[in-house]
Structure 1
Amino acid sequence: MTRIFIQDKATFKTTARTYDDAGFLHVPGRVSKTGTQQYLRRELGLDGDPNARVTVYRPPEEVFAADSLASFDGADVTVMHPGELVNAKNYRKTSVGLIRGAGQQDGDFVKADLVVKDAEAIAAIEKRGFVELSAGYTAEYEHAPGTTDDGTAYDYIQRSIRINHAALLPAGAARAGRQARIFDHNPEGNTMTKVTLDSGRAVEIQDESTAALVSDCIERLNKQVTDAQAELDRRQATIDGQTEQITKLQAATADDQITARLKAVTDARARAEKIAPGVTFDSIDPVEIQRQALAKARPATDWAAKSEAYVQAAFDMAFDQVETTDAHADQKRKLAEDGANRLPSKDKVPVHDSYAARFTNPSKE
């Protein structure tokens, strides 16, 4: 395995600042943590795309190893990373303080006590917000792909961690995550509040008000989810009711369509029998019935090639002609019957005979 220089970053709040008589700033804070972290391949000296990311696992047995924690004692404090390990050649230009004492395990984190001695560095913390810490260290990297207990996959395992310095950085450069924070004035260390997330995972939060805020946020989110589910159930009930109504309407519509279809077929057959008496209509399609009737009445036309609109128009015209012819026939028959009714019967005396009898047989007065 190759030992290389690496830098980690962690965020802290500016809350536990104390000053000694010399004006030096004493600040305890979390510097590093266990778990997985993302690195660029070039940071680890790996071949391939230098900007590709790899996941490195920092197991507790390595982070909290006695030799690793002991390496915090006397490590330098810098403003920004010097770009290399702090050494005798760059010490005067880079170091602004030191870490006093060995690192201490604090949950998943390593806590260390920083002493910042340089006035400009102290001003950077107070006025410019240089409140994040980034550990500079050497470590060995073992290529051993695996999965952590929480299911996170990793590519390398970090071993033999040795701290060289802790850099003060502006906000927003935290590799270890924003749970790393500067402590308050409690000499026994901060009381951690455990908050159970909606996923069931429990996390520890240092500030009680922040813990309360997180818990309240989770409760409100859970209520929103519950309300949203209730609204979805209500809408689903409405949809189910509407679906049932639609099914009933479709059934009723189908009955109406069947009735209308039967009427159309019956009417077409009745009219077709007048246009083409004696033809047997074997279709239940009104248009086909019309075609069959027209084919009988007007065989010279290819009715199979005509459009439905054309067939219907011709059928209506043919039916009107039949109706007109029948009407004329009825009228002639009625006139003939009326004429026959006006003819004299044998029992009646002709008019001229009656007139002659008045002169030949005068009545007596």
Structure 2
Amino acid sequence: MQLFDAVTLGEPRLTRDGYLVADAKIARTGIQLYAGKEVDPENKAGFRDKAVVRVFRPEAEVFSTDALASFAHRPVTNDHPAEAVSASNWKAHSVGMTGNEIARDGDFIRVPMVVMDQAAIADWKAGKRELSCGYESKIVFDAGTTPTGEAYDAIQTDIRGNHLAIVARGRAGSECRIGDQGAPETGEPKAPVHQGDRRMSLKTITVDGLPVETTDAGIAAIEKMRGLLTVSDKALADEKAAHEKTKADKDAEAAKKDVEIEDLKKKVVDGAALDALVADRAAVVTKAKALDANVVTDGKSNAEIKRAVLGDSVRDKSEAYVDAAWDLKVADAKDDTVRQAIRSQDHSINASDAWNDNVFASAGVTQLKKGA
């Protein structure tokens, strides 16, 4: 696979014959950005349509003996040709040559070079200062993180130089260039970067469905912002989910309390019903004591009191039968002893009106009459 990098010429000078001589940084380690179609044109790894692919160039690959040696005696071209440079076409593309004293300079490869073509030298004087390596390499699509913590999508290996191009903007950055100042022989000022040159190096990236033209640095910034937005969106989604869960838990707790309140309401007897129960209880106890002074009423229900008074005759009878037998027994209690006992148990009876029908009615005795 043939790829292109870029650097700049350093400390250039013009010889007596007009040639441009320089010792330049031409390639570096670290991560460089490529379009997906550059590194995966056949889409074997699914990267062809990706706007930016982060390719890591390990130090061991960039500075390997074979990689360094491959950049010696390489043709220098003015921009990248559409084909790899070889013996069959070098005359058509070459404007100069690299030397053989290839060396490491920090994170860069440094090579001596000479530009011999007048038109290429004129372009350099006009501000075309950066360099871009044309080389072949293997791309291993294996995502990971560099020793300094930078994420990458693929690794570049087996780097072999083919040519060195003079370009307006190069991928390796402004450090890979032919000098920072004009040629000392002419006294030219530092060459400006022309807008036309900038447009030549722009890349297109899709942002929210819209194509945007920007530089490699701009693409890197956009990708970083995309990553931050993804993290932010996830944090927002997590916070929303937590809020929804808290709300659901509170709703469930409120519903549970509502059910408990309803259950408590069902267990609470209203005042009128309570009065009726007390009156009924008092009547049963009063009548029972009148019929059987020794009957035990404490701790017993009304039904149990009635059965105790009625005795064995109702042992196996139903509650309805017991209630009917009770009513009959109370109705038949006509002797004065019974009346007197009933009167003595019901403290609401007035002594002057002992036989008032209403008094007996309040005690549940409906068949007794005055003078009976």
Scaled to the shorter chain, the TM-score interval is: 0.3 to 0.5
TM-score (norm 2): 0.45
TM-score normalised according to structure 1 size: 0.46
